[in-house]
Amino acid sequence: MFEQLVGKLPVGIGIVDESFNVVYLNDFFLDRLPHELRKNYKETPVTDLFHGQGKFLKRRLKSVFVLQHPSFSYWEQRPHIFPFKSSRPITGEETQMYQNMEILPVKDKATGQRYACIFLQDVTAQASYFRAQQKLSEALKKEHEAQRKLIRKLDTAQSQLIQAEKMASTGQLAAGIAHEINNPIGFVNANLNTLGQYASHLISICDGVYSHIENFNDELNEQIEALYQSNHYELLKEDITELIEESTDGLTRVKDIVENLKNFSLENSEGVQTVDICTVCNQLITLISAQYSTPQYKFDCELEKVEVMGNPGPLKQALMNVMINAAQAIDTKGVIKLSVQESGDRVIIKILDSGCGIPAQHLKRVFEPFFTTKPEGQGQGLGLSVAYTAIEQHQGKISISSKEAKGTVVEISIPKQPSHSKVNSSESVTEPSDIVQEEV
Amino acid sequence: MSIVLPLDEEQRDALQELLNISMGQAANSLAQLIETKIDISIPKISAVTPTQLYSLLFETEDSFYTRQSFLGDVHGEVMSVLSRAGLTEVATLMDYDDPLSKEDIQEIILELCNILAGACLAGLSDQLELTTNLNMPTLFQPDKSNFDDLKWQHSLVMEVQFVIAISSFSMRVVFCLDDESLARMKATLDELLA
């Protein structure tokens, strides 16, 4: 009865002697032997019966006989010790059986003969389930990673949007102020002109009186002379014209700045249009030099006009962000040079400063959003990343090179005519395939 | 360690001697199988808390860890710490072909633990006339926080170190017994001493 029971057990049981010859096999093993071998398998080396991991099996059997201690093997490390097919030959996905093996030392009590007993477990179902789980968890991990990337991208886009909005509202504010200032400047300017004329009239009157001085009597003469003296007429006459001229100059400058501010910020004309880079650069220099007066500004362009097709708002903002960085890099003395060149169908804008430069380890990160070396609260680390996005939208390139304590060069290259297909096609491509899928 | 050992001095000495003999047998078995000389340290016997057990075992850098439970007259677990260094030489001695795959390495680790822990346990239970059956070893990646949450207060640990002379490989085997088994072992030791 015991023999029957052992024979029918759903695990493989095989017994080998010390020369690795098979003494007994249960049905689990026998069912998987070729027909012609089933009758006379005894006294054959186990490695001859089952070609597979012979070397491994011998090693493990040896260890069991030497140490008289069980040995284990798992499917994870060694899935197929015996070359058996899966127990599901028709429907199974696995073609080979996954096996766990245990070899035990046994001893015949009557003869004292030592044997090794091989237990073999079919764990194909377990293994394939485990592997499926693993695949699933890997797929999940990948998906998770992709999502995280997307979220990071969204974060960046959002903060750039916030920044852009801030700039836009600052611009509107500036435009409002510029408009308000324009009115008083108008009448101050007009009044100043009239004042200049009145002053020259007054001076002619005084001069006229003085030239007829000998026609008066001595008493009057003395009184007039004293009046001129006490009011410092000579000084007054010399200074008044100069004062008025200086004031007119100053006023003209204020007018220029306000005008530029208006032009620069009141850019509600969204969309692609012709932009003259030279005008933009000149406006920029006026604007930025008003705020940062330390550096010397130079503009270098051989052409009168360099026109590109682009969106003026983002373009100006990009250039402005780069220029502000350049201006902030100069502490006490230095030069900022803006140069514009045409090169084939592209325009190259270089912004060079002789400022403090950027350390090499920071250089590759300057376009990253939120990267800043300024103390907290003084910079958001968005300027260059906004510039980068704006230039990329124009299918351009922005690159930066810098040497510490020497200065920095930012080179921007944009096509004069961006290929329109790219700008407007983002939505139209995906739609047809969606429709097809719906129908299926 | 401030905790009083659950064993008295006589019991401790006896156990240490028995361990010494069984460790020697284990080292011999392995030496025979891989045909090289193996040195063993003097076994250490102590009582530890879960946190102490964690630092005793798992704060070793560059190591593999395994665990293996045993049942029978006494119940407990064997944990092993194997150095990464020198494993390739041992693999060659064990007749594995270069280069080793990840699976090969796992298999070697498990086999080494099984042989050494098995031999130690077999030797010890032989001398104490107890029956024990060792289960399959598994790779183990311990987590410190889990150790802090363990239910038991103190455990008797027996620790021994094996060093393979010709390579830089070393391995520590630590036996832990549960309370009931400890009582049984104490009784057996007393019988032997009487």
Instruction: Give average pLDDT by consecutive 10-residue segment, chain A, 440 residues.
Output: 87 92 90 82 84 84 86 88 76 76 91 92 88 94 95 87 72 75 89 92 90 84 88 89 90 80 58 87 86 88 88 84 89 90 91 90 81 72 79 88 91 85 40 38
**pTM value?**
0.57
Task: Give the Cα separation of A24 and A7 in Å (integer).
Answer: 10
Determine the pLDDT at residue A168: 67
Name the residue in chain A with its Cα closest to that of B118: A69
3-state SS, residue B76? strand
Q: How far is CA B49 from CA A420, A423, B54, B70, in A?
A: 73, 68, 9, 21
Name the residue in chain B with its Cα closest to that of A78: B103
Name the residue in chain A with its Cα closest to that of B122: A69
Any idea where the domains of chain A sit in the sequence? 2-122, 143-266, 269-419
Chain A hits for B126, CB-CB cut-off 8 Å, are none
Q: What percent of chain B has pLDDT over 70?
A: 96
Name the residue in chain B with its Cα closest to that of A55: B95
A67 closest CB neighbour out of B29, B107, B136: B29
* Residue B4 distance to chain A (closest CA, Å): 35
ipTM: 0.78
Chain A hits for B136, CB-CB cut-off 8 Å, are 72, 74, 102
Determine the pLDDT at residue A384: 84
Indicate whether B91 belongs to any domain. Answer: yes
* Residue B118 distance to chain A (closest CA, Å): 7
Per the CB < 8 A criterion, the answer to whether A315 and A394 are in contact is yes
DSSP B1: -
Determine the pLDDT at residue A421: 44
- pLDDT tens-digit map of B125-179: 888 888 888 888 888 887 766 777 777 777 778 888 888 877 788 888 888 888 8
3-state SS, residue A90? coil
Chain A hits for B106, CB-CB cut-off 8 Å, are 76-77
**Nearest to residue B154, comparing CAs of B8, B47, B31, B41?**
B47
**Nearest to residue B161, comparing CAs of B122, B109, B126, B120?**
B120
Q: What share of chain A is helix, strand, coil (3-state, %, to 5)?
A: 50, 20, 30
Tokens standing for residue B155: 């455990």
We report the CATH number of the domain holding residue B108 as 3.40.1550.10
A278-309 burial string, b = 16+ CB within 10 Å, else e? bebbebbbbbbbeebeebebeeebeeeebebe
Per the CB < 8 A criterion, the answer to whether A301 and A347 are in contact is no
In the CATH scheme, what is the homologous superfamily, with its name and number, of domain A269-419?
A: Histidine kinase-like ATPase, C-terminal domain (3.30.565.10)
Chain A hits for B103, CB-CB cut-off 8 Å, are 76-78
Structural domains counted in chain B? 1
**Nearest to residue B182, comparing CAs of B5, B55, B56?**
B5
Indicate whether B1 belongs to any domain. Answer: no
> Side by side, which strands form the sheet with A407-415?
A296-300, A335-343, A346-353, A407-415, A397-403
A66 closest CB neighbour out of B29, B94, B136: B29
Q: Is B62 exposed, middle or buried (0-12, 13-18, 19+ CB in 10 A)?
A: exposed
Q: Which of B115, B116, B132 to mutate to test the interface with A (most CBs of A within 10 A)?
A: B115
Per the CB < 8 A criterion, the answer to whether A179 and A262 are in contact is yes
Model confidence at B117, in pLDDT bands (50, 70, 90)?
confident
- List residues of A whose CB lies inside 8 A of any B CB: 55, 59, 62-63, 66-74, 76-78, 102
Containing B121, the helix (H) or strand (E) segment is: helix B102-128
Name the residue in chain A with its Cα closest to that of B26: A67
Q: Strands B132-134 and A397-403, how do they pair?
A: unpaired
Per the CB < 8 A criterion, the answer to whether A310 and A280 are in contact is no
Name the residue in chain B with its Cα closest to that of A103: B136
- Quick one: how far is CA A294 from the chain centroid? 32
Determine the pLDDT at residue A120: 92
Cβ–Cβ gap A67/B107 under 8 Å: no
Q: Which of B22, B78, B103, B126 to mutate to test the interface with A (most CBs of A within 10 A)?
A: B103
Chain A hits for B30, CB-CB cut-off 8 Å, are 67
Per the CB < 8 A criterion, the answer to whether A127 and A93 are in contact is no
Torsion angle defined by CA atoms of residues A307, A312, A317 and A320, in that order, rounded to the nearest 10 degrees: 30
Q: What share of chain B is helix, strand, coil (3-state, %, to 5)?
A: 45, 25, 30
Determine the pLDDT at residue A437: 40
Q: Among A291-295, A374-378, B31-35, B52-56, whose mean pLDDT is lowest? A: A374-378
A-B CB pairs within 8 A amount to 47
What radius of gyration do chain B's Cα atoms show? 17
Indicate whether B78 belongs to any domain. Answer: yes
Q: What is the residue range of B132's domain?
A: 9-193
**Nearest to residue B135, comparing CAs of B65, B77, B60?**
B77
- pLDDT tens-digit map of B157-168: 888 888 887 778
| Fold entry, domain A2-122 | Beta-Lactamase (3.30.450)
